Amino acid sequence: MRRVNEPATRLLSGIARCGVCATPLCLEPTDDSLVHYVCLAADCGEVWVDAEALESSVMIQVLSRLSAAGIRAPANPEQMADTHRRLKELDAEYAAGRLERTVYLETRREVYDTGEELRRLADQGPTGLDLGGEVTPDVFAHWWAHAPLERSRELLSLLLEYVDVHPTTEPEGVELDMARVTYEWRTS
């Protein structure tokens, strides 16, 4: 059923489910070069929706979720340099006798741990969410549009358990009414 040029996996493969029977939705190309997510369960088959419309709505929901959480992208070189500078300043303050040992050690550990986390994120390189700062709508939309499918799917797997698509009451059935879609977000 799949066309030769249609990928076997799309953004929501394995994530989008039928809102009636909870079966994972399958991809089904149409004669007009569109692709739909459809329920192919023998005892159901109640759901079908335009793949691009559903994927676009999921991107909007993910962006909203990330923005509401104040998510920031991995560190840039300036952040790492700032951490290194702060460590040097702490060392100089302690050496000059302006900081007590316990305050120095506690503060240094916090700054050092922050630096280690920044290095870990930087080591992810181009495979990480390398957005270069705060995740703004424009930055995220640009990343989303250019990220390889695998990276977008990895991001979704961190945030979403699944997306349920419920049946439509419209005769044509493929248009996406946001009331048809429910999201099960990961909590940890």
137: DSSP letter: H
pLDDT value, residue 162: 92
Residue 142 DSSP code: H
pTM of the full structure = 0.62
Extract the residue ranges of the chain whose pLDDT is less than 70: 1-8, 67-80, 117-138, 171-175, 188
183 CA to centre of own chain? 14
Q: How much is the pLDDT for 6?
A: 45
Residue 22: how many other CB atoms lie within 10 Å: 12
What does the pLDDT look like over 20-30, one tens digit per residue? 999 999 998 87
- pLDDT of 165 reads 93
CA pair distance 13, 69, nearest whole angstrom:
25
DSSP state of 128: S
Please count the other Cβ atoms lying within 10 Å of the Cβ belonging to residue 40.
16
CA distance 123 to 127: 9
User: pLDDT at position 123, please?
Assistant: 53
Distance, CA of 56 to CA of 54 (rounded, Å): 5
| Residue whose C-alpha is closest to residue 95's, from 82, 108, 83 | 108
pLDDT for 3 equals 40
pLDDT on residue 108: 83
pLDDT tens by residue, 52-63: 889 988 888 887
CA angle 41, 48, 44 (to 5 degrees): 25
26 class by beta-carbon count within 10 Å (0-12 exposed, 13-18 middle, 19+ buried): middle
What pLDDT does residue 168 have? 82
